Every structure is written in C-alpha cells, then in structure tokens.
Amino acid sequence: MHFSKDHEWVRFDGDVATVGISRHAADALGDVVFVETPDAGKTVSKGDSFAVVESVKAASDVYAPVSGEVIEGNAVLASAPETVNADPEGEGWFAKIKVSDTSTDGLMDRAAYDAFLATL
C-alpha cells in the first residue's frame, strides 16, 4: 500500500489500483455521511478530483493518486458511507482504476507516510 500527501492510499493488483482515503483522513473527517464514487468508464489523471466524501464536519474532494480508467466504484458506500470510518484502508475503498503506469513515483510507503503525518 502506498499513500499520497493528500491522504489517499493505493494498492496495486497487477494493473488495477484500488484507491481510498487513509485512516488519518477518515479520522480527521469524522462521521462520514455521504460518498460519491466515480462511475465505471471515467478517465482520471493523477492529481485530479475523482470522488467526494462528506462528513458531519466538511465535504472534501478525493484526488486520484494514479491515472487510468475507473473500472468500478464502490457501490456499498452509497448506502453505507460509514464503511469509510469503519475500514478506510479496506472495505471503505472508493474505486478500482485500470492504470497504464504502476509507478509509485510521488507516493509514500507506510513508514514514510507515518513520518509525514508526524510533521503535520
């Protein structure tokens, strides 16, 4: 698993990247009440907003840590947005993206992300 400075995570399985928000981001948001995931077929570029998460505190864009074509949005989140709080780095994923480049340039591993969080 790798992380962006915007607190998204990405896990690669071949050329498919599963993307979500980190535990830190979910905790900072508080109780998630709404999630808008991207539709299959949408093309996303690294750094683009591709999803929205709303909590009792705020609404936030979710930025793509990779570029590619969305092959699946997590439909569970429409009816159970609290899944993001319960398991943000697992069942609370936002989208699966077929990527053309599995490079992790600009992303951090868990240790580097934890060190980054310590500077905030």
Q: What is the pLDDT of residues 65-82, one digit of tens each?
A: 999 999 999 999 999 999
Say what the pTM is.
Answer: 0.95
With a cut of 50, list the residues of the chain below it in pLDDT. Answer: none
pLDDT at 100: 85
Would you kindly state where each structural domain of the chain is located, as residue ranges? Answer: 2-118
- 12 backbone dihedrals φ, ψ, rounded to 5°: -95, 140
- Name the residue with tokens 């400075």: 5
For residues 65 and 107, the answer to whether their CB atoms sit within 8 Å is yes
CATH entry, 2-118, from 3.40.50.720, 2.60.40.1180, 2.40.50.100, 2.30.30.230: 2.40.50.100
Cα–Cα distance for residue pair 60/58, rounded to 1 Å: 6
